[in-house]
Amino acid sequence: MRVISGIYKRRRFDVPHTFKARPTTDFAKENLFNVLGNYLDFADGVSALDLFAGTGSISIELVSRGCDKVISVEKDPQHYAFICKIMKEVNTDKCIPVRGDAFRFMERCSERFDFIFADPPYALPNLGEIPDLVFRHGLLKDDGLFVLEHGKDHHFEDNPHFVEHRHYGSVNFSLFRAAATTAEPPTP
């Protein structure tokens, strides 16, 4: 696993072969972050949430690119320990690993984020519900961006928050945006 850009650029972390997690490929990650640069400046006080964090590949990339705060939610104890190890290795306090279920975290979270990334297992039966849950629980700040990584069998174009779809090989990303709240003009 390699960090693409930022202060930890080119750092490599060896993911144990016993891990079930499938890290986002370097090719897909690099292309995704090129697209995200059109939406967000990660070094501008951005808070981020990495759901189904797996190996922490996206979390370390976000920290490297300057996010103020990244919460990484991972259920698997080995994967969680690996994320903690990586963050300790780079000596950062910008990432807060949370060992827990991503769905429960979404239900109970009272914080709002500028950016949310979710990379659930592609075979997860309720993967298609994740965008609705993010918006139902109000996890994004106004004009925030949510990215869902998924397999080719899911399509989200009908979701009212859908912005665009990108695919790189077998990796698919659907991007969603929270609408900015606009104040009603005063009535004369």
Q: What pLDDT, on a 0 to 100 scale, did the predictor assign at position 140?
A: 96
Q: Name the pLDDT band for 34 (thresholds 50, 70, 90).
A: very high
Percent of the chain at pLDDT above 90?
A: 79
Quick one: DSSP state of residue 156? -
Cβ atoms < 10 Å from Cβ of 188:
3
What is the rounded CA–CA span in Å between residue 143 and residue 77? 33
How would residue 183 be classed by pLDDT, with cut points 50, 70 and 90? very low
Average pLDDT for the chain: 91
DSSP character for 13? -
**Domain residue extents for the chain:** 26-177
Mean pLDDT score, 23-51: 92
Q: Angle 57-64/77-89 helices, nearest 10 degrees?
A: 20
Q: Beta-carbon neighbour count of residue 12 at 10 Å?
A: 9
The torsion angles phi and psi of 140, rounded to 5 degrees, stand at: -100, 140
Please give the pLDDT value at position 184: 45
pLDDT digits (tens, 9 = 90+) for 122-154: 889 999 999 999 999 999 999 999 999 998 888
- pLDDT reported for residue 182: 41
C-alpha Rg value of the chain to the nearest Å: 16
49-108 per-position pLDDT tens digit: 999 999 999 999 999 999 999 999 999 999 999 999 999 999 999 999 999 999 999 999
Which letter, b or e, does each residue of 173-183 get, where b requires 16 or more Cβ atoms within 10 Å of its Cβ? bbbbbbeeeee
Q: What is the pLDDT of residue 12?
A: 92
**CATH domain 26-177 topology:** Rossmann fold (3.40.50)
